[in-house]
A = this chain, B = another copy of it.
Amino acid sequence: MAAAKNAFYAQSGGVTAVINASACGVIETARAHTEQIGKVYAGRNGIIGALTEELIDTSQESAEAIALLRSTPAGAFGSCRYKLKSLDANRQEYERLIAVFKAHDIGYFFYNGGGDSADTCFKVSQLAQSMGYPIQAIHVPKTVDNDLPITDCCPGFGSVAKYVAVSALEASFDVRSMARTSTKVFVLEVMGRHAGWIAAAGGLIEDQGIPVVVLFPEVPFDEQKFIARVDALVKQHGYCTVVVSEGCHHPDGTFLAEQGSKDAFGHAQLGGAAPVVAGIVKRALGYKFHWAVADYLQRAARHIASRTDVQQAYEVGAAAVRLALAGHNAVMPTIERVSDAPYQYRIGMAPLSEVANVEKFMPRDFITDDGFGITEACKRYLRPLIQGEDPPQFRDGLPVYATLKNLAVPPKLPAFALR
């Protein structure tokens, strides 16, 4: 029997409230199979750590510290925004990766990210094969944008959806209280530059009796129709809540957030979509407004994570290791929905050739005909994903989150300059 190969794990792109739960799933499952997997090395700051040979030795972390990753938001080993170019354009980066893997006896590559990293993962697998140093490359799905194909949902999304629905509900109660003499329109800006999945979660509060307007990137912004809709809701309910995706744009493609506004010094103003939408309401209708921009709070909010999401994040991490142990390569564990209510799912598998570079948008039948809300089909899809709570432990009023030692593996190769 061949000696156990080491594994390499890296976090890629924007982090989430549950990406560390996937790391926990990978590491705990690998530790349970020492006959086949040696050490798990993590990339310091993602794939950059592999290129620069900055590897973290996760075997130096206690079982307790690794277990705590399950309830720790963000990327415990660091992540990065660094997209490898095509093989033709940048073959030497891929070759460097494989050289580092070879130097550290790495036979398993677990890459935890979205569409871009699925593509990188696929290419590493192909090139390693052709270079005579086969590596089992498994992609672990993660993205708050929920835009990976084949899998029913993406770990990270359910928790941001829960954050948005809970926050929009709570703020709507606030506005409802104040509307008689004060704020009548509350605007909440959420993430989602291309796909409206996150904004859609705001539509769930309609079932709680809240008048809500959702602005999707998929629906070009119709200012007059929007104004009329807000006015009708305020006249009927006394107030309304608007959930606007950062990717909401005018018919000409300009983002609402890029109004070309300038500050007093003539510098381009660093705007958000929420203040722009609030301004439109104010000018057209005169209603008092408040606006919030959730930004990183929404994807970091482990304290209000969805239990379903945490569980799935852990499971795809664990499944990635099991797929590798079963001999699979260039695949990604997926979440296959079996039923909506009661919610049932199982872990499946997709070939990376079908995952890489495919974006999944909201189906048109998930958005109401007027473009300002979500349909019952969308609600059936979303509801299970925000189910359940999984609060972290608290000490002295604050959540207990892991900060790892992140000890370096001594490098063995010459330095490599990043482009």
Kindly state the separation between the CA atoms of A48 and B293 in the bound complex, as whole angstroms. 32
- B178, B205, B389: the one contacting A79 at CB < 8 Å is B178
- B73, B166, B259, B398: the one contacting A165 at CB < 8 Å is B398
In the complex, are the beta carbons of A181 and B81 less than 8 A apart?
Answer: yes
Residues of B within 8 A of A377 (CB): none
A410 at the interface (CB under 8 A from B): no
Interface hits, A1-32 → B, CB 8 Å: 11, 14-15, 17
Residues of B within 8 A of A79 (CB): 177-178
In the complex, are the beta carbons of B264 and A261 less than 8 A apart?
Answer: yes
A345 at the interface (CB under 8 A from B): no
A102 at the interface (CB under 8 A from B): no
In the complex, are the beta carbons of B174 and A15 less than 8 A apart?
Answer: yes
A80 in contact with B181 given A282-B270, A294-B297, A403-B209 (CB within 8 Å): yes
Interface segment out of the listed A124-132, A223-231, A299-307, A359-367: A299-307
In the complex, per-residue mask of A301-338: 1 if CB is within 8 Å of any chain B CB, else 0? 11110100000000000000000000000000000000
In the complex, are the beta carbons of B301 and A170 less than 8 A apart?
Answer: yes
A67 at the interface (CB under 8 A from B): no
In the complex, per-residue mask of A161-173: 1 if CB is within 8 Å of any chain B CB, else 0? 0100111011101
Task: Write the chain B residue with the least CB distance to A295.
Answer: B292
In the complex, are the beta carbons of B175 and A296 less than 8 A apart?
Answer: yes
Kindly state the separation between the CA atoms of A276 and B173 in the bound complex, as whole angstroms. 29
In the complex, are the beta carbons of B48 and A180 less than 8 A apart?
Answer: yes
- B180, B293, B389: the one contacting A45 at CB < 8 Å is B180
Number of copies: 2
In the complex, are the beta carbons of A269 and B267 less than 8 A apart?
Answer: no
A388 at the interface (CB under 8 A from B): yes
Residues of B within 8 A of A204 (CB): 398
In the complex, are the beta carbons of B169 and A398 less than 8 A apart?
Answer: yes
Kindly state the separation between the CA atoms of A2 and B6 in the bound complex, as whole angstroms. 84
Interface hits, A190-208 → B, CB 8 Å: 204-205, 208
Interface hits, A204-236 → B, CB 8 Å: 204-205, 208-209
A387 at the interface (CB under 8 A from B): yes
In the complex, are the beta carbons of B15 and A166 less than 8 A apart?
Answer: no
A side interface size, CB within 8 A = 87
Task: Write the chain B residue with the least CB distance to A269.
Answer: B261
Nearest CB of B to A308, in Å: 8
A173 in contact with B72 given A278-B270, A297-B292 (CB within 8 Å): yes
- B80, B262, B264, B396: the one contacting A178 at CB < 8 Å is B80
A283 at the interface (CB under 8 A from B): yes
- B176, B270, B386: the one contacting A74 at CB < 8 Å is B176
A96 at the interface (CB under 8 A from B): no
Residues of B within 8 A of A416 (CB): none
Task: Write the chain B residue with the least CB distance to A168.
Answer: B297
Kindly state the separation between the CA atoms of A17 and B14 in the bound complex, as whole angstroms. 31
In the complex, are the beta carbons of B296 and A174 less than 8 A apart?
Answer: yes
Interface centre among A165, A167, A279, A295 (most CB of B within 10 A): A295
6 more CB-based (< 8 A) A-B contacts, given A14-B178, A388-B394? A73-B173, A169-B398, A171-B297, A259-B264, A272-B293, A386-B398
Q: Which residues of A contact B (CB under 8 A)?
A: 11, 14-15, 17, 45-46, 48, 72-76, 78-82, 162, 165-167, 169-171, 173-183, 186, 188, 204-205, 208-209, 259-264, 267, 269-272, 274-276, 278-279, 282-283, 290-297, 299-304, 306, 383, 386-389, 391, 394, 396-399, 401, 403
